[in-house]
C-alpha cells in the first residue's frame, strides 16, 4: 500500500486529490488508480477541492456561514489544567462535511440515484444502508439537524 511521497505530516493539512492513500504500490498509481478506486470518489474529491479553493460558491447562506464557522474560525477549548488550546477538525472530517454540503447545495443531489449523473461508467452499488428505506441516513448530522433549515440571522 502506497502513501504519497508529498503527504503532509499534519492530519489537519488540506490534501489535494492526488495526495491520497492508494491500495497498491506507488509505481502503479499512474496506471491502476481508476481500477482500484471508484472513479466517482476521485471525481467528487477533485470537484470538492476546486469548490473549496473557489470559496464555497453556490451554497446557501446558512451552509456558507457554517463552513466558515467550522473551518475558518479559531475555536478555543479549555483543557483540564484551565489553559486554552486551539481545536481544529481533521482534514478527513472537514472533507466529509464539505462533500455532503457540496452534493446537497451545489449539485442538488437528493438521493443515491442522483450520484450516477456524475460518472456514467460507475457501477453503482448500494453503499449506504437505509434499513427503513429513508432517503437520508439517520446518523448524518447535516441531514437531520432541524437548525440547518432555519434562516441565518446577523446577531
Q: What is the 3-state secondary structure (H, E, C) of the chain?
A: CECCCCCCCCCCCCCCHHHCCECCCHHHHHHHHHHHCCHHHHHHHHHHHHHHHCCCCCCCHHHHHHHHHHHHCCEEEECCCCCEEEECCCHHHHHHHHHHHHHHHHCCCCCHHHHHHHCCCCCCCCCCCCCCCCCCCCCCHHHHCHHHHCCCCCC
- Taking 70 as the threshold, does the pLDDT of residue 97 lie above it? yes
* Range among 3-7, 131-135, 151-155 rated most confident: 3-7
Mean pLDDT taken over the chain? 76
Give me the pLDDT at residue 2, please.
Answer: 64
The whole-number average pLDDT for the span 44-49 is 92
Q: What is the pTM of this model?
A: 0.70
Helix orientation angle between 91-101 and 39-53, rounded to the nearest 10 degrees: 90
Q: Give Cβ neighbours of residue 134 (< 8 Å, ≥ 6 apart).
A: none
- Write the pLDDT tens digit of every residue in 3-23: 777 788 889 999 888 787 777
- Write the pLDDT tens digit of every residue in 66-82: 999 999 999 999 999 99
- Taking 70 as the threshold, does the pLDDT of residue 32 lie above it? yes
Amino acid at each position: 500500500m502506497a502513501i504519497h511521497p508529498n503527504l503532509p505530516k499534519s492530519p489537519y493539512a488540506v490534501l489535494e486529490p492526488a495526495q491520497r492513500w492508494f491500495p497498491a504500490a506507488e509505481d502503479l498509481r499512474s496506471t491502476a488508480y481508476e481500477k482500484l478506486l471508484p472513479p466517482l470518489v476521485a471525481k467528487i474529491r477533485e470537484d470538492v477541492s476546486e469548490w473549496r479553493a473557489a470559496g464555497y460558491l453556490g451554497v446557501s447562506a446558512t451552509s456558507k456561514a457554517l463552513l466558515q464557522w467550522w473551518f475558518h474560525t479559531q475555536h478555543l477549548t479549555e483543557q483540564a489544567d484551565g489553559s486554552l488550546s486551539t481545536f481544529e477538525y481533521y482534514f478527513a472530517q472537514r472533507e466529509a462535511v464539505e462533500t455532503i454540503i457540496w452534493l446537497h447545495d451545489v449539485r442538488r443531489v437528493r438521493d443515491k440515484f442522483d450520484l450516477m449523473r456524475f460518472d456514467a461508467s460507475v457501477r453503482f452499488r448500494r453503499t449506504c444502508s437505509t434499513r427503513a428505506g429513508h432517503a437520508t441516513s439517520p446518523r448524518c448530522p447535516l441531514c437531520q439537524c432541524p437548525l440547518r433549515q432555519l434562516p441565518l440571522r446577523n446577531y
